[in-house]
Amino acid sequence: MKNFTIGLLGLTLILIFSGCEKYGDKRFSTTLELSFLIDLTDTDPTVFNLDSTVTSLTNAELKKFKENIKYYELKSIKYKVYEFWTDQEGEDVQFNGEVGFGNLNSTSPGVLHTFSDISLKSGNDNPAKVQIPFNSQDIKKIEQYFLDTNGLKLYVDGNTSSTPVHFYLQFQVNIDAIANVKKK
């Protein structure tokens, strides 16, 4: 009888553990890019105000597991000026303004970064993207925006020191999503 009980217990444990699906965390790294075109003629005011959105679900693999996302980790947000042009050959134009971040449903930014006296010519000539520094509270807010809506809304406003001016202000968001997925 004792052998039968031990055998039955062993068989039960085998069935329980062989039928359990194993899950674990998987990291999905995603790079999102968004460019704002600022194209001001000589009759335009030097002030502009734009917004647009990015979503982590452009990553097809992550999209399959969107319901299983546990949290996001912000790796970096960088910016780059490109295709700068002004009709004053050799002239530099300065940009002053802000970039703001909110969740996809936001009507105003919850996190702001200020740009002061950014040289559009130097930004255009420099091939490197510039990382935006954030404090730990702002990082947590941006990560929460992604967790709430799987995306981010960017707001850009500012002014230029002169017109006409044409340039793109590109933002690159590097974010990791950690999801609980079935292990193979």
In a domain, 17, yes or no: no
pLDDT digits (tens, 9 = 90+) for 108-119: 999 999 999 999
What does pTM read for this prediction?
0.85
Specify the higher pLDDT residue, 181 or 128: 128
Both structure tokens of 36: 């704002």
**CA separation, residue 163 to residues 32, 42, 54, 142 (Å):** 30, 5, 29, 33
In a domain, 90, yes or no: yes
In a domain, 159, yes or no: yes
pLDDT digits (tens, 9 = 90+) for 32-85: 999 999 999 988 888 999 999 999 999 999 999 999 999 999 999 999 999 999
What rounded mean pLDDT belongs to the chain? 90
Q: Label residues 117-126 b or e (16+ Cβ within 10 Å = b).
A: ebbbbebbee
Specify the higher pLDDT residue, 11 or 134: 134
Band of the pLDDT at 170, cuts 50, 70, 90?
A: very high
Q: What is the CATH number of the domain that holds 106?
A: 2.60.120
Query: How many distinct structural domains can be found in the chain?
Result: 1
In a domain, 176, yes or no: yes
Range of the domain at 108: 23-182
Both structure tokens of 14: 């085998």
In a domain, 171, yes or no: yes
**CA separation, residue 61 to residues 80, 89, 96, 152 (Å):** 28, 47, 38, 19
In a domain, 14, yes or no: no
In a domain, 144, yes or no: yes
In a domain, 117, yes or no: yes
